Amino acid sequence: MGRVTSRTPVLRIRGAARTTRPDVVAAEEPLEIRLSGSPLAVTMRTPGHDFDLVHGFLATEGVIAGSDDVLGLRYCDSVDADGRNTYNVVDVDLAPGVEPPDTALDRNFYTSSSCGVCGKASIDAIRTRTRHDVAADATRLPLETLLALPDRLRAAQRVFDKTGGLHAAGLFTADGELVTLREDVGRHNAVDKVIGDAVCAGRLPLAGHVLMVSGRASFELTQKAAMAGIPVLAAVSAPSSLAVELAADVGITLVGFLRGDGCNVYTREDRLTGV
**Could you list the active site residues?**
115
- Cβ contact 58:73 at 8 Å: no
211 touches 225 (CB < 8 A): yes
Q: Taking Cα atoms as reference points, which of 235, 238, 234, 236 lies closest to residue 272?
A: 234
Cα 50 from Cα 27, distance rounded (Å): 14
CA distances from 189 to 26, 31, 127, 155, 185 (A): 14, 11, 18, 20, 8
Distance between CA atoms of 9 and 192, rounded to whole angstroms? 32
Beta-sheet strands, E only, within 60-196: 70-75, 89-94, 141-142, 167-173, 178-184
Task: Tell me the C-alpha to C-alpha distance, in Å, between residue 238 and each of 193, 235, 248.
Answer: 22, 7, 16
CA-to-CA distance for 102 and 38, rounded, in angstroms?
12
- Cβ atoms of 56 and 74 closer than 8 Å: no
**Residue 174: count of CB within 10 angstroms of its CB:** 19
**How far, in Å, CA of 209 to CA of 213, rounded?**
13
Q: How many Å apart are CA 198 and CA 46, to the nearest integer?
A: 19
